Amino acid sequence: MVGRESNNGQTEGTNGINFSAVEFEELAAIVAERAGVFLSAHKQREIESRLYCRFPYIESLDGRALIQMVKKSDSALQNLINSLTIGESYFFRNRPHFAVLKEHILPDLIRENQRHRTLRIWCAGCATGEEPYSIAMLIEEHFSELHSWDLSIIATDVNTSFLEHAKRALYGPWSFRGVGQAVLDEYFTAKGEKQYQLRDDIVEAVEFRPYNLADMPYGDEFLQARFDILLCRNVLIYFSFDLANEISAALADRVNPGGYMLVGHADSFPALGQLQAIYQGGTYYFRKPVRSDPAPRNRRPSRLEIIPGIGVDPTGRHLAELADHALAGAKKRMPSRLPRFGFDEIPPVDSGGDRVSELLDQARDSADQGDLETATELLEELAQGGGRVDHRVYFLKAIVAEQRGQIPSTVASLKQAIFLKRDFVIAHYYMGVICEREGHKKDAMRYFRNTNRLLREHQGDWAMDEAEGLSAEKLAEIVENRLKELQLDLEVEQR
């Protein structure tokens, strides 16, 4: 049973662990300092429930006792981390990524590395091992020539219980969402009721190690190697925005020139701007440039490029030109009509429109420079004044709020942006990303379906507001793939 908060801020409940607001803040600070994991205050009740279910000493501890134990004991801290991290994974998760690995990334690296015949792969945040084992199976199935290479697949995670599970390589039906019977027959042996043991040679192809990604920005010496393929998918959501961005930069530094990095659908940070973003097959991934590549354009990565897919431009056209085109198209459109809310028409921005644009530009610049306080103040001024009915104001408020870890404010601002502009397709998509990241899969599917519907209504060369060059066609492919993945999740959960 999850407790409820009393008038004095203390959580009350008959079972489980209960933190006051002050105690939870202290616990969050300890976990952030020792493990880099970010505990959001809006998830306090969820975390209390998770600790009740999973923490070994839960029945005899209150919040203060747990804090003292974690301060004194590394093993208690590790138990806490194991309880707080979620190992949701399954074989060949995000199939478009495995498609580009098979059809583009691995063939390219085999050509480029033919002389020294080495290939290094790192799965960072591997959870219970399905991801690295999927890569080993992919290589076994389609790239037998790598058997004679110096090939290594390293998989790491901060959760030691996940790693023990991965080493056992014994999996239940949850890990086989969308996996064909041929994979089970070829690589697994049935063990007992609905349990499957992975083939020994695939298990032996992967080396598992405990590792906390939060150590990377501080010059750790654990993993000094460079990698040809680095996967870090659906992991960075555990960190604050700034730390996740620093980790992204450190990860990118560990990729060999000409190598590739794949991140999760909901993971996108400005530090990745140092890599070449590639869009193929309904997904996107990153490549580390080499000296022989054409000189990169002089474009400073923006902190606002955090919505997956935004800024990916494989055609070589300058993003600024596309943004100007989008802005010109937006100015030609009439204000959205919202009859379902009882309004005939959203009123236009008042006569201070130039001032609104000026303050919006200042807020963007402040956010780009990391001054989120100033950006927030400017956006609040806009929301209380001439920008109160400008959907762009609330969209930027959402982005800044997310960077500050304020997810409820992010959601509220996105809802307001959508209220003001019903066909604001990027806001619907962004809301789907947030819902998926927060574990609200049904809500995520609803917003992704809204995105698809709007894209179908606006066929052709549609200049989408705030899209930064992302085309409607690419966005439709991305959303279709997210819907397929989420449907797989929900089908298993509903059995």
pLDDT digits (tens, 9 = 90+) for 316-362: 233 333 333 333 433 333 333 323 333 333 344 443 567 888 999 89
- The per-residue pLDDT for 147 is 93
DSSP letter at 104?
I
Domain boundary among 84, 104, 135: 84
- List the one residue out of 177, 205, 202, 178 whose CA is nearest residue 189: 202
461, 419: one domain: yes
Would you say residue 484 lies in a domain?
A: yes
- The per-residue pLDDT for 284 is 85
235, 215: one domain: yes
Would you say residue 293 lies in a domain?
A: no
Place of tokens 């020294």: 116
**DSSP notation for 345-410:** -PPPP-TTHHHHHHHHHHHHHHHHTT-HHHHHHHHHHHHHTTTTT-HHHHHHHHHHHHHTT-HHHH
Q: Are 413 and 402 in contact (CB under 8 A)?
A: no
227, 348: one domain: no
In degrees and rounded to multiples of 5, residue 158 shows phi and psi of: -80, -20
pLDDT in tens, the chain (495 residues): 333 333 334 444 445 678 888 999 998 888 888 777 888 888 888 888 777 666 555 555 678 888 888 888 888 888 888 888 776 789 999 899 999 999 999 999 999 999 999 999 999 999 999 999 999 999 999 999 999 999 999 999 988 989 999 999 999 988 998 888 999 999 999 998 889 999 999 999 999 999 989 888 776 666 678 999 999 998 887 888 888 889 999 999 999 999 999 998 877 788 888 888 888 888 889 999 987 776 555 455 565 566 666 655 433 233 333 333 333 433 333 333 323 333 333 344 443 567 888 999 899 888 888 788 999 999 999 999 889 999 999 999 999 998 888 889 999 999 999 999 999 999 999 999 999 888 888 999 999 999 999 988 876 566 777 776 677 888 888 899 889 888 887 775 655
Would you say residue 313 lies in a domain?
A: no
Q: What is the pTM of this model?
A: 0.79
Sheet containing 118-124: give its strands across.
206-210, 150-157, 118-124, 227-232, 255-263, 283-287, 276-280
Q: Which residues pair with 4 in a beta bridge?
A: 12
270, 344: one domain: no
- The per-residue pLDDT for 306 is 60
- The per-residue pLDDT for 204 is 97
18, 161: one domain: no
Domain boundary among 40, 58, 84: 84
For residue 420, count CB atoms less than 10 angstroms from its CB and return exposed for 0-12, middle for 13-18, buried for 19 or more: buried
- The per-residue pLDDT for 295 is 58
CA–CA distance, 197 with 191 (Å, rounded to integer)? 6
| DSSP H/E element including 23 | helix 21-35
45, 178: one domain: no
199, 266: one domain: yes
Handedness of CA 140, 142, 143, 144 (dihedral sign): positive
Tokens of 214: 């939060």
DSSP letter at 334?
P
- The per-residue pLDDT for 354 is 75
254, 282: one domain: yes
User: What domain range is 216 assigned to?
Assistant: 95-287
Tokens of 268: 């996108």
CATH code where residue 421 lies: 1.25.40.10
283, 330: one domain: no
The tally of domains found in the chain comes to: 3
Would you say residue 67 lies in a domain?
A: yes
113, 183: one domain: yes
- The per-residue pLDDT for 341 is 30
Domain boundary among 84, 106, 139: 84
336, 283: one domain: no
Would you say residue 311 lies in a domain?
A: no
148, 276: one domain: yes
